[in-house]
Amino acid sequence: MSLWEYANPVKFLRLSERVLPVLWAGAGICVVGGLLWGFFATPDDYRQGSTVKIIFLHVPSALMAINAWFMMLVASLIWLVRRHHVSALAARAAAPVGAVMTVIALATGAIWGQPMWGTWWAWDPRLTAFLILFLFYLGYIALWEAIEDPDTAADLTSVLCLVGSVFAVLSRYAVQFWNQGLHQGTSVPVATGERTVSDVFFVPLVICMLGFGLLFLALVLYRTGTEIRLRRTRALLARGARSA
Amino acid sequence: MMPDLGKYAVEVMSAYAVSLMLLALLVWVSVARGRRARSALLQAEQEVHGDG
């Protein structure tokens, strides 16, 4: 069995019908459980007070905002190289999810920043890269809507996705590239494992990150199914119009 | 039951409210669009089959 089998829309829909209930359930349990744990059962931070509870929304949403773009990049490359329609539709389906995650990260960051930094916004490298990433999301969604021919739209949005990947990388590593600005380094560095978050916050944070990841997967699978059905409907209606 | 959020209660509550509202809206819009797409496809298939 090959992964490319799922480039077949029928097989993809059949697989997603089987997997989606598990993903929805897992996402619901982890997001609700992680947030309840984080909100009700964690103490205040000795410096940040109760604002530390915002971490359970801010970090997972920022993580998914960047990873959603990388998922779109992989799907776009598959479209450009192998011309599988499902991959182009999956990239299209992921964009609004990534855009909402970016808005949540920006909004919670601003709300958190005001009491801690004394400002809602600063032209800090990481914040600015994130804002540009959000604009790329909007541009990507608008480009899909603006072009009538789906293959041309998939081509052009794939190129836009490649360009925007620079800002997705910058959003992730801006703090390391430019050692200035207000934003701290990553709280959970995967490469070194030297996290700056205490255990009492770390466990619910990981559960929230897992929950946001599962929610992203569930939404992308579900929305890709929707895109496949809409495409099939357009094809059927066009066939009907030609034969009439 | 409700934790004491101290002087940052407004900030914490508004962060949770905005985020949960956006997530709920995203799921609701996705599911509603998915349901419309399913029924549109069903209708299109019936029309095509109906035309023979």
What is the Cα–Cα distance from A214 to A31, expressed in whole angstroms? 9
The torsion of the CA quartet A157, A163, A169, A174, rounded to 10 degrees, works out to -130
- pLDDT for A118 equals 87
Pairwise pLDDT comparison (A174 vs A242), residue with the higher score: A242
* Closest CB to B15 among A103, A108, A237: A108
pTM: 0.91
Non-local CB neighbours of A65 within 8 Å, separated by 6+ positions: A98, A101, A102, A104, A105, A130, A133, A134, A171
The domain limits of chain B are: 28-52
Q: Does A62 score more than 90 pLDDT?
A: yes
pLDDT at A191 over 60: no
CB atoms within 10 A of CB B31: 14
Q: What pLDDT does residue A152 have?
A: 96
Angle at B50 between CA B49 and CA B52, to 5 degrees: 65
Residues from chain A that touch B14, judged by Cβ atoms under 8 A, are 111
| CA–CA dist B30, A226 (Å, integer) | 9
Q: Do B30 and A219 touch (CB under 8 A)?
A: yes
Nearest to A126 by CA among A73, A72, A65, A193: A65
Task: Average the pLDDT over each of A9-18, A52-61, A98-107, A114-123 and give the range with the smallest value.
Answer: A114-123
Give mean pLDDT, residues A170-199. Answer: 66
Give the SS3 label for residue A192.
Answer: coil
Q: Confidence band (pLDDT; 50, 70, 90) for A123?
A: confident
Quote the ipTM score: 0.92
Looking at the partner chain, which of B4, B26, B40 has a beta carbon nearest the beta carbon of A100? Answer: B26
User: pLDDT tens string for chain B (52 positions)?
Assistant: 788 888 999 999 999 999 999 999 999 999 999 999 999 999 998 888 775 4
Which of B14, B22, B37 is nearest residue A230 as measured by Cβ atoms?
Answer: B37
User: Which two three-digit tokens encode residue A58?
Assistant: 């801010």
Q: Do residue B47 and residue A229 have CB atoms under 8 angstroms apart?
A: no
Is residue A190 classed as helix, strand or coil in its secondary structure?
Answer: coil
Q: What is the pLDDT of residue A126?
A: 83
What is the least distance, in Å, from the CA of A90 to any CA of chain B?
14
How far apart, in whole angstroms, are the C-alpha atoms of residue A173 and residue A183?
Answer: 11
Write down the pLDDT at residue B33: 97
